[in-house]
Amino acid sequence: MANIAIILAGGIGSRLGSDRPKQFVEVLGKPVLAYTLEKFQNHREIDVIEVVCVNSWKDYLEDMIQKYNFYKVKWVVDGGSTFQESVINGIFNLKGKISPDDIVMTHFGASPFVEDEIISDCIKVCKVKNNAISTTPFFLLSGLIDDSRKSSSVHINRDMIACMNSPHAFKYSLIYDIYQQATKSGLIHEVEPHTTTLMQAMGYTVYFSKGSQTNIKITKKEDLELFEGYLLMKKLHGE
């Protein structure tokens, strides 16, 4: 049984306000995506990597793979016009190339904070349950938004809320069948563009694996600044 990581780098990330997709923005001289790929390249349980990439940045990605010697990257796949299309491209490209019993892990290219134990536990849970998603408790106060979207009159018990993040892991035959069925039925266009949302809409149970409050996805400028500070702190401590 092999473990294949699909790194999703097919988005533009317009909310960052940069002249390039957020996964290719450089922090301390290295693209965000390179930091993310490093985590999976160096993880002992990851056998192969596939990257789903913005079409116009594929040459840049190929150069980056060579520069940082990401030898586990075996496939580079075109990104789609939507997040779901990018995931589908990545999943369907593996058909006939890997075993149905292999584990496929999806992770955002703009989420470089992921640590080894998060990846390991996601694989561990998936081996038993056939799927897993990195999850953390919800610690903030919360309320149901009123119709005005400016107030709340209903409290939500935070103990009943889980914060789901990437990575996700799935038995390949399961996730392939889910996307094939959802594409044929049109359900894929009716739910939020996330694999777990799609699974829940189809009646599947999603199983939790370890997560971390620091494992954020870089979306805004402030997130980039947090990541830079995190890297500088590690350098200061000789890590």
Residue 188: the pLDDT is 87
User: Is pLDDT above 90 for 102?
Assistant: yes
65-to-46, 108, 153 alpha-carbon distances in Å? 16, 17, 51
pTM for this entry: 0.93
User: Is pLDDT above 90 for 57?
Assistant: yes
The DSSP annotation for 195-217 comes to HHHHHHHTTPPPPEE---TT-PP
Q: Residue 168: which residues within 8 A CB-CB, separation 6 or more?
A: 105, 106, 107, 122, 131, 132, 133, 134, 195, 196
pLDDT one-digit tens code per residue, 126-166 = 999 999 999 999 988 889 999 889 999 999 998 899 999 99
To which residue do tokens 């703009």 refer?
Answer: 110
Residue type at position 16: L
Residue 229: the pLDDT is 93
Distance CA 28, CA 226 (A): 12
- In the chain, where the domains are located: 3-136+164-236
* Cα–Cα nearest to 10, from 92, 89, 115: 89
Q: Which CATH number fits domain 3-136+164-236: 3.40.50.1440, 3.40.50.2300, 3.90.550.10, 3.40.50.300?
A: 3.90.550.10
Three-state secondary-structure class, residue 161: coil
Three-state secondary-structure class, residue 60: helix
162-171 vs 131-137, strand pairing mode: antiparallel
Per-residue pLDDT band at 24 (split at 50, 70, 90):
very high
